[in-house]
Structure 1
Amino acid sequence: NQSTLDSIRRVFDRAAGQANLLIVPVNQGSDVLEEALLAQVERAEGVEVATPSVKVQTLLASEAESWQIAFTINGLASGNVLDLYGVDPVLDPEVRVYQLSMGRTPDPEAYEVLLSRKFAQERSLQIGNDLVVLTPDSQARLEIVGLLAEEGVGLLNDGVVAFAPLSVIQDLYGRGGELDEIALRIDPAISGDTRQIELLKESLAGRIGRRGQVIYPAARGQLVTQMLATYQQGLAFFSMIAIFVGAFLIYNTFSMTVVERTREIGMLRAIGMNRWHVLGMVLAEAGMLSVVGSILGLGTGLLLARSLTTLMGAVVTSSESVLSVPWQGLVQSVVVGIGVTLSAALLPAVQAARISPLEALRARGRSVQAVRPTIWVSGLALLFVGWAALYRLEWRPEINFQAGSASVLVILFGATLTVSLAVIGLERLTRPLAGALYGDEGQLGSANIRRSVGRTTLTVASLMVALTMIIGVGSLAYSFEQDMVTWVDTALGGDLYVRSPMTMRASFARQLENIPGVAVVTPVRYLTVRLTPGMSPAGEGEGDSLFFAAIDPWTFRQVGAIEFAAGSGDPEQNWARLARGDALFVSTVVADRYGLSQGDRISLLTRRGEHAFTVAGVMIDFTGQGYIVYSTYADLQRWFGEGGVDRFTVKIAPGYAVSSVAQEIETRYAARRHISVQTSEVFKTNILNLLGSSFRLFDVLNLIGVIIGALGVINTLVMNVVERQREIGGLRSLGMTRRQTTQMVLAESLAMGLIGGVYGLGFGYVVAKIMIYAMNELNGYDLQFIFTPGPYLLGVLIALGISQLAALYPARRAAAVNIIEAIKHE
């Protein structure tokens, strides 16, 4: 978790270098700064260096016909779109980190460029070559004079980045008099004092007014980390589940230790050791093992973290892949490891302390345990408490996630305590199947699980929790996938998507409409906008960022449809209100985060100052993790002074093949307008592949739960074999063969697997619905639970497979019991 967030922050921090403050447009990506602002900022007291820059996105001319769109969990990634910066070659290196691997920086006013070494190697470019890039009018040649190492500014845009003189880029791309950013290096006497730099920040903000905003460099990654919050919460929740299941294994391990040393403890009690000494002895052993386990866990965890951080590359694109290991995280891991171990070992320690010397010295084998009503009654009570906490109590937003996670853990713990009832009730049902597979030995083995109900309960519970998580995550992924497909089919609609790395003109729609087979063309323009600071949930800060999508309602409705959330009124009235202007459709995520309902007002920072838009409807949309609002092109022009198109959605007329029309569009315009044409089916496949990648990490955490469940089965069966060694020896002396002994143990394990499977399937269904509900409540989604048999079938296979594979070692150990050693009296 921390490595992913830190990698994003580190890219911005290292790129910012020695910049203490940044001046950026009010709405980055849509607004610009006036170049005249630079002179005013330079004169401000405390500002040592102020360096301007502009950024344009372009393509290499050689890749214009084959440019690609890449996707990450946050939306579009770099693909082969080049971020080309115009900077002051003299001043910028004084503020930002330019680490040259070879060559030099460009001369001011010269048509020269710096490339990242990574980008140059991938394109087989060298110093002295010309970098031929697309411009709005045609092409431009920039001589490569230096290569950047993967450090500082070389990390931006995953290394697909280049730097040229500011005046050159302004001239080539029609950006005269415009800037995108001014980076400031502040006097160390001020920058080293938090209060003074905050005062300077406020002074600069007052000086520039509405013409821009002053931010700290760390704020650059705010929208990205904001969108990753849901993913981070999911990983944190499943980590807690893994710890929860691990506690079962620890409990079983120390229970096994107590069982194996019952006679030894009895001897110690007989010669004078009291109960407190026994309790301290077991807890001291647990403490020492927890320290060793925590140290080994830290090493293993770092290796696993390295692998998972690499795996995150399929989900979040970042050049920075250094593993972040904060000391607080290490301390927390050790404290949790020791704390969970001591807590799980406490009950076995108490049980050991209660052993009477006389009972301990008796022959083993009397392990029949009754089910105490207080256990399952407590379980039912915890189930009710967890349910009420989730569905009936209102929690403050800042503790919503913690309260929800705790409620789910309470439900799982309650389900664990009720497993004893399932063991008694379902064992009779498993006996015929065990008998059919393993004969009379199977029925005997199945019946054995009732003799150690407490131990069997935890083993079944660990399997149940593992299966519950597999089913829960599988069902959540499937429901998410189906809702995503529905959104692509309805909200985006259309058959083809036409994009370009540079903003397209709205008039291009008429040319597309003239192509045979094209029925309707609708445009969309995306901006990043900011809410006014007062709109943030805490009522403070600099204002959150959102995606702003401008559409043409008339053509949009002919191509696609927006799915409104429940309670959003009549769709026709919603559309009519949007078309009248000064109105927005907000996503369910935005509505939930900012407490908005239909008819409320949402205030955005525009080029004309703060403006409150009316919420015309609440919609379901997954763009940018749901942080998006829709408006009209009229409002885009009026309030943001923007036009152009980022994507045309094309609907094909009946009787025409989608692929044929796509080919015709590419033939006519791909080379001339540098466009990419993608079918809705390909786009949908890309989205689903990304979704599958994002759930892959949860599958890894589920696998950990399955491994813990398997170890629990091994522990329990080994304990049972040790505890019933005399009994097994007696059966062997009466004629039971090694093969029959093995079958008896396998049947016992099969019974536990079946019970765990049945219980896991039932609670998996319940937890899947809870996870959908929690996802909706915590993040403002409007997901619907959709049943799919896949996770349930996988759960059954895992329950049966694990129960049999994990039982092989205990079964062989039971079959290898020496008859004489087992039945002799000491």
Structure 2
Amino acid sequence: MTLLNTANRRHFYRHPLQLVLAVCGIALGVAMLVSVDLAVESSRRAFQLSMTALTGKTTHHILAGSGTLDEKLYPQLRRDLGDLTMAPVVEGYVEAGGETLRLAGFDPFAESPIRQGIAQSALAALVDLLTEPGTVLISRITAERLGVGPGAQLTVDVAGSPQTIRVVGYIDPEEKPDPALEGLLLADIATAQEILGKIGRLDRIDLVLSDDPGELQKLQGLLPENVTLVDAAGRNTATTRMTRAFETNLKAMSLMALLVGLFLIYNTMSFAVLQRRPLLANLRILGVTRAQVMGEILRESGLLGLAGSLLGLMFGLAAARALLDQIARTINDMYFVVTVTQFSVSPTALLRSLAIGISASVLAALPAALDAASTRPVRTQHRSSLEQSVRRWLPKLALSGLICGLLGVFLLNWRNAGLIPAIAGIFLVAGAYALFIPTAMLGLTHFCPRTASPIVRLAIRGTSAALSRTGLATAALSVSVAVAIGVGTMVESFRVTIADWLEQLLQADLYVARPAAPGIASDPLPSTLIEKAIRLPDIAGFSLARRTFAESSLGRVELMAYQPAFPERSAFHFKSGDDQNIWKRFMTEPVVIVSEPFAARHGLRAGDSLTLSTSRGMKSLVIAGVLFDYRSDQGLVILRRDLYTELWNDAGVTSLGLYLASGVTAEEAKSSIRKLAGTAGAVLIRSNREIRDASMAFFERTFAVTHVLRLLAIGVALIGILSALLAIQLERTREFAVLRSLGMTPRQLTSLVLTQTGFLGFCAGIFALPLGLVLAIALVKVINFRSFGWSMELAVSGADLWQAPLLAITAALIAGLYPAWRASRLTPALALREE
């Protein structure tokens, strides 16, 4: 085995570029995999750390269905329940230095049994917190990032209103930075109420309850209407479950890049086997067994996979830090606010990516290892034997592709299946299509016109002569470009759908609302502000809405109580049924309508019932219809405002839609309403155009990560085709030398190589179009719906279709520049020598 190992090592020493390309290919694939994995794990861990720090030993929360609790409830429960452990909480979000920070207000005297660490920090600065207005404690990590410390002032933005607060100390105990407290500002509860505009209100009351059912029953009997007791652990688990589909899609995109990168390992190992066929034949004659040859090839691939995976881990660690910001921003926009931004490295994720990289490399090299072990020594001198073997395998590849394709289509059309089978279906369809590409390429080469120049005919026919290389390279590039088409079409479809939905939804000219963070109910607008605003001469009509949360038979749900400006016409577009009939029923009967994501998530449809926890107990309401809604993938339940007021005893309004009189501009009306708002606290006044622009900006942020992963996948394929072209160029060295000897100039040889690479790119671009459209349909109609519950119309951009072949040709030509340059500098006399 020493002789075998030495001989093989020398081969790689003499061909370092092939080795470098293979390692870089697997490194990029592993880097994408580990960067997404680490960024997702960091975001999830950030939320869990933050929740653990703020929840402490809390077992239950007391929450109000109307958003906030009257602070008088806390002392009342204290008197009635005696020694029961509880603490009031006020929390909200502020902006400082371009970061989102969580401002939490606690009662320092009630915190010790629940959050001991926070209680100790608060008691250390108790005098300052209680006697000086606008004073806060800050986490050490956040203070260092913002450049502030004890005694410094910090300007924070609260829903567009700047306020100055003073830092009086650190939250972290014993001068040791705690990542769980990152992004946290701690204040006395009265200070937090003033800063956040929640005077006299609490967000929740935290409790530590025993397993005594009598204690729980007594507590529930003391709670007023529209106030509920919620299990803390279940609430946090449900929140973290929100992002599961989003994370799965990101990991699938990164895995696609890794699979494309495996082509480089296959190409490198099969080319290495081809170049060493004479050597392997001699070793076989000298007594080396097939098992030893196969083991050596697999060992080499494992070492390549190890080197590439280790390099990929380093790249991935660097990329994950940048990717974390994008993922955290998307989670903040769509699900819940993550204030912990510290990057955390998971050893499990690193080991998992390392194992996947090595295993995938060995698997990719398996065909080459089998070929090296099974080829007869007397036939190893013939390159044609490999190509003949490949052509014999084409029908088998096509049959395998047909089977994989049918299985993929079945998984994509499998009703009630989850997201993972659908993603597996996508991979099977793409893989099946790739297996047909070598056969299709062979067919295209026969259409080369006889009138074409000799260089063109030679270049095109040369692709079929090296089908083992060109077919796989074209398939890899084609799949990558098809993924780019599919993802691009999905994004464009989403963009068009969102734009149309916003146009239909935002019917009022101006909207006045309280600012709200994801997952947190906002406070109602002052009733005096609403009354004065709708009486302005500039206003021709108005709509009212109340956004809040309620408990139901399906868990915590988001509610919207809606009073339209024009009751006679439908304000929504429904998934099925006549819009006007459903709307008429909604306006006259005690029913609800639910959003499409809510219905998809819980398996509901029109005619089913939904049980809600109201001030009058559990109330079952019939679902009148399912409407299209793209606010969130968690879903929404809508009912008439008068019905909500009757069931929850809550007449609050969190959003006011205003229709302007003829000739009145939005800026004029906004100026009048700002004067009315005065001291009403944080109020947002935005036109429908501003909301539409902000929504589209949010949309673009959401898909920023997808665009990055798509470009990286194309980059991996670009390296792959470069590797294949180098392999072809090295294999054809003697052929190029003969052509030079027969009179072909260096420029003509360069033209030959670039024509061949351009043809490969053209084939990849043409083959990518059908697959790209199939992937787009699958992403829009299946993956997107199973992930988020959104139905979208397919919007195919003509630019994507003509840009795909151009992208593939450009990528192939760029990859062919170096092989063409090497071919032009060929010395015929040296190349014609036998080794």
Sort the TM-score into its range (normalised by shorter chain): 0.7 to 0.9
Instruction: Name the counterpart of 2:48.
Output: 9
Q: Given the superposition, is the C-alpha separation of residues 362 and 526 from structure 1 closer, same or farther in structure 2, using an over 3 Å criterion?
A: closer
Q: Determine helix, strand or coil for the equivalent of 1:504.
A: coil
Instruction: Name the counterpart of 1:347.
Output: 367
Q: How many angstroms apart in 2 are the aligned matches of 1:279 and 1:153?
A: 49
2:627 is aligned with what amino acid? M
For the 8 Å contact 1:416–1:457, the answer to whether it is kept is no
Q: CA deviation at 1:115?
A: 1.8
Q: How many angstroms apart in 1 are the aligned matches of 2:203 and 2:715?
A: 56
Instruction: Name the counterpart of 2:340.
Output: 320
1:288 aligns with 2:303: yes
Q: Where do residues 626-705 of structure 1 align in structure 2 (5 Å cutoff)?
A: 626-669=634-677, 675-705=683-713
Q: Given the superposition, is the C-alpha separation of residues 395 and 673 from structure 1 closer, same or farther in structure 2, using an over 3 Å criterion?
A: closer
Q: How many angstroms apart in 1 are the aligned matches of 2:560 and 2:293?
A: 68
Instruction: List per-residue Cα deviations over 1:364-391 (Å, max 9, x = no partner).
Output: 8985653632211321232222112212
Instruction: Name the counterpart of 1:182.
Output: 206
Q: CA deviation at 1:760?
A: 0.9
Instruction: Name the counterpart of 2:439.
Output: 421
Instruction: Name the counterpart of 1:193.
Output: none
Q: Where do residues 141-540 of structure 1 align in structure 2 (5 Å cutoff)?
A: 146=169, 148=171, 155=181, 158-159=183-184, 162-165=187-190, 175=200, 180-184=204-208, 199=211, 204-209=215-220, 211=223, 217-222=232-237, 224-317=239-332, 318-361=338-381, 367=387, 370=391, 372-391=394-413, 393-396=414-417, 400-428=418-446, 440-501=454-515, 502-506=523-527, 508-532=529-553, 535=554
Q: Given the superposition, is the C-alpha separation of residues 786 and 326 from structure 1 closer, same or farther in structure 2, using an over 3 Å criterion?
A: same
- Unaligned runs of 5+ residues in structure 1 are 45-49, 60-66, 71-76, 187-196, 536-542
1:574 aligns with 2:582: yes
2:299 is aligned with what amino acid? A
For the 8 Å contact 2:180–2:340, the answer to whether it is kept is no
Q: CA deviation at 1:320?
A: 0.7
Q: Given the superposition, is the C-alpha separation of residues 452 and 32 from structure 1 closer, same or farther in structure 2, using an over 3 Å criterion?
A: farther
Q: Given the superposition, is the C-alpha separation of residues 173 and 705 from structure 1 closer, same or farther in structure 2, using an over 3 Å criterion?
A: closer
1:784 aligns with 2:793: yes
Instruction: Name the counterpart of 2:63.
Output: 25
2:694 is aligned with what amino acid? N
Instruction: List per-residue Cα deviations over 1:217-276 (Å, max 9, x = no partner).
Output: 554544543442332122022122122212222211211211221221122122222222
Q: CA deviation at 1:626?
A: 4.6
Instruction: List per-residue Cα deviations over 1:113-159 (Å, max 9, x = no partner).
Output: 54254699979997498999999xx9999987555469779958x54
Q: CA deviation at 1:362?
A: 5.0
1:378 is aligned with what amino acid? S
Q: Paired residue for 1:808, among 807, 813, 817? A: 817
Instruction: List per-residue Cα deviations over 1:645-665 (Å, max 9, x = no partner).
Output: 222122233433333333443
Q: How many angstroms apart in 1 are the aligned matches of 2:730 and 2:129?
A: 82
- Report the number of matched residues: 766
Q: How many angstroms apart in 2 are the aligned matches of 1:171 and 1:203?
A: 37
1:499 is aligned with what amino acid? A
Structure 1 range deviating more: 84-93 or 360-369: 360-369
Q: CA deviation at 1:462?
A: 1.1
Q: Given the superposition, is the C-alpha separation of residues 692 and 244 from structure 1 closer, same or farther in structure 2, using an over 3 Å criterion?
A: same
Instruction: Name the counterpart of 2:35.
Output: none
Q: CA deviation at 1:84?
A: 5.9
Q: Determine helix, strand or coil for the equivalent of 1:716.
A: helix
For the 8 Å contact 2:135–2:165, the answer to whether it is kept is no
Q: How many angstroms apart in 2 are the aligned matches of 1:798 and 1:101?
A: 59
- TM-score normalised to structure 1 length: 0.83
Q: CA deviation at 1:361?
A: 3.4
1:91 aligns with 2:130: no
Instruction: Name the counterpart of 2:37.
Output: none
For the 8 Å contact 1:7–1:321, the answer to whether it is kept is yes
For the 8 Å contact 1:29–1:528, the answer to whether it is kept is yes
Q: How many angstroms apart in 1 are the aligned matches of 2:158 and 2:184?
A: 19
Instruction: Name the counterpart of 1:622.
Output: 630
- Unaligned runs of 5+ residues in structure 2 are 1-39, 333-337, 516-522
For the 8 Å contact 2:540–2:661, the answer to whether it is kept is yes
For the 8 Å contact 2:257–2:713, the answer to whether it is kept is yes
Q: CA deviation at 1:102?
A: 12
Q: How many angstroms apart in 2 are the aligned matches of 1:612 and 1:148?
A: 46
Structure 1 range deviating more: 699-708 or 503-512: 503-512
Q: Determine helix, strand or coil for the equivalent of 1:316.
A: helix
Q: How many angstroms apart in 1 are the aligned matches of 2:667 and 2:502?
A: 19
Instruction: Name the counterpart of 2:7.
Output: none
Structure 1 range deviating more: 161-170 or 250-259: 161-170
1:104 aligns with 2:115: no
Q: How many angstroms apart in 1 are the aligned matches of 2:497 and 2:739?
A: 58
2:294 is aligned with what amino acid? L
Instruction: Name the counterpart of 1:549.
Output: 560
Q: How many angstroms apart in 2 are the aligned matches of 1:561 and 1:179?
A: 32
1:779 is aligned with what amino acid? F
1:562 is aligned with what amino acid? F
For the 8 Å contact 2:66–2:650, the answer to whether it is kept is no
Instruction: Name the counterpart of 1:716.
Output: 724
Q: How many angstroms apart in 2 are the aligned matches of 1:321 and 1:643?
A: 39
1:383 is aligned with what amino acid? G
Instruction: List per-residue Cα deviations over 1:493-541 (Å, max 9, x = no partner).
Output: 2222222355213453442233344222212111122322xx3xxxxxx
Q: How many angstroms apart in 2 are the aligned matches of 1:659 and 1:366?
A: 75
Q: How many angstroms apart in 1 are the aligned matches of 2:51 and 2:262?
A: 40
- TM-score normalised to structure 2 length: 0.82
Q: Determine helix, strand or coil for the equivalent of 2:466.
A: helix
Q: How many angstroms apart in 2 are the aligned matches of 1:343 and 1:402?
A: 22
Q: How many angstroms apart in 2 are the aligned matches of 1:256 and 1:610?
A: 70
Instruction: Name the counterpart of 2:30.
Output: none
For the 8 Å contact 1:598–1:618, the answer to whether it is kept is yes
Q: How many angstroms apart in 1 are the aligned matches of 2:597 and 2:622?
A: 17
Q: CA deviation at 1:685?
A: 1.5
For the 8 Å contact 2:128–2:168, the answer to whether it is kept is no
Q: How many angstroms apart in 1 are the aligned matches of 2:497 and 2:43?
A: 27
Q: Given the superposition, is the C-alpha separation of residues 314 and 549 from structure 1 closer, same or farther in structure 2, using an over 3 Å criterion?
A: same
Q: CA deviation at 1:30?
A: 5.0
Q: CA deviation at 1:692?
A: 1.1
Q: Given the superposition, is the C-alpha separation of residues 89 and 738 from structure 1 closer, same or farther in structure 2, using an over 3 Å criterion?
A: farther
1:596 aligns with 2:631: no
Instruction: List per-residue Cα deviations over 1:387-437 (Å, max 9, x = no partner).
Output: 12212x3344xxx1111111111101110111023212333567799x6xx
Q: Determine helix, strand or coil for the equivalent of 1:370.
A: helix
Q: Determine helix, strand or coil for the equivalent of 2:126.
A: coil
Q: Determine helix, strand or coil for the equivalent of 1:503.
A: coil
Q: Given the superposition, is the C-alpha separation of residues 152 and 612 from structure 1 closer, same or farther in structure 2, using an over 3 Å criterion?
A: farther
Q: How many angstroms apart in 2 are the aligned matches of 1:140 and 1:693?
A: 28
Q: CA deviation at 1:213?
A: 5.9
Structure 1 range deviating more: 408-417 or 121-130: 121-130
Instruction: Name the counterpart of 2:737.
Output: 729
For the 8 Å contact 2:137–2:167, the answer to whether it is kept is no
For the 8 Å contact 1:254–1:348, the answer to whether it is kept is yes
Q: CA deviation at 1:722?
A: 2.0
RMSD of the TM alignment (CA)? 3.9
Q: CA deviation at 1:672?
A: 6.2
